Amino acid sequence: MSQHKKTIDFGFSEVPLEEKVKKVKGVFDSVADNYDVMNDVMSLGIHRLWKRHTIELSGIRPGNAVLDLAGGTGDLTKEFAKRVGKTGRVVLADINESMVRVGRDRLINQGIAGNVDYTITNAEALGFPDNTFDLATIAFGLRNVTNKDKALEELYRVLKPGGQLMVLEFSKVTQPLLAKAYDFYSFNILPKMGKLIADDEASYQYLAESIRMHPDQETLKQMMLDAGFDKADYLNMSEGIVALHRGWKY
């Protein structure tokens, strides 16, 4: 390899490719325990509504096989597990062991067991056969993935024909005034709250920056089509603070 290493955005600071994976892992290692609390505080609890809406639109049913990629502490996995029942299966896959551990303990405490598998996986190389899942989700995870195109191709591969991918992610705010206020919130307030609650300003600074660097609605839709999806669309929630992208494999 030459001197010129490929660099990639780590938030706004450009870092070599291979370091990004390490950095992302570090970020989530340091927030794992406080993740749920921070999530509530940061989004003022609205992330629950975004997730509920995602679940409603999934159209999931008993017996389905679901992949919750970058599943973290398992918010979506829990709801999916209840809906697919014991005849179905949900796989929570995440690159970060501490997040998965916190998630598994939490779900078992809540009586969810028997139809959930937990696995440590990088989104860019999924260890599942082709045509495995009826539904795949990646919620607030894609923006952390280094090679997003590869991850989308992998998600397409593991979906059954007729299956659906749902990507829930921070996106581009459509209302200009709100966009300004939201930016201010993300860059000035969020990292400070991170410091106060989790004593971890850098991680939340990263979260704010990675939100800004994430592709906007139309770009992500095109990326999904390029990755092989036969149809893709999206839906803005909360004026585009978050967008839900859906892709279908026919």
Please work out the total of residues on this chain that contact other proteins, with binding judged by CB under 8 A: 44
Find out whether 80 and 56 touch, Cβ atoms under 8 Å.
no
Nearest distance from C-beta of residue 107 to other proteins, angstroms: 11
- Told to check if 242 binds other proteins by CB under 8 A, we report yes
Q: Which residues does 166 contact at the CB level (< 8 Å), separation at least 6?
A: 54, 57, 58, 135, 136, 137, 138, 139, 244, 245, 246
- Residue 40 CA: distances (Å) to CA of 108, 133, 221, 243: 21, 30, 28, 18
Nearer to other proteins among residue 50 and residue 118 (C-beta): 50
Query: Least distance (Å) from ligand SAM to the CB of residue 76?
Result: 6
227 binds ligand SAM (CB under 6 A): no
Half-sphere exposure of 161 (CA within 13 A, CB side): 1
Q: How many CB atoms lie within 10 A of CB 206?
A: 23
Q: Is residue 137 involved in binding other proteins (CB under 8 A)?
A: no
Token couple for 119: 């696995």
| Residue choice 65, 81, 95, 135 for contact with ligand SAM (CB under 6 A) | 95
> Using CB under 6 A, which of 54, 64, 96, 205 touches ligand SAM?
96
If one asks whether residue 59 binds other proteins (CB under 8 A), the answer comes out as yes
- Which residue among 91, 116, 139, 165 contacts ligand SAM (CB under 6 A)? 139
The single residue among 5, 105, 125, 184 that binds other proteins, judged by CB under 8 A, is 184
DSSP for 82-108, please give it.
HHH-TTSEEEEEES-HHHHHHHHHHHH
97-126: contacts with ligand SAM (CB under 6 A): 99, 122-123
250 in Cβ contact with 161 (< 8 Å): yes
Interface ranges with ligand SAM (CB under 6 A):
24, 28, 70-73, 75, 94-96, 99, 122-123, 139-141, 144-145
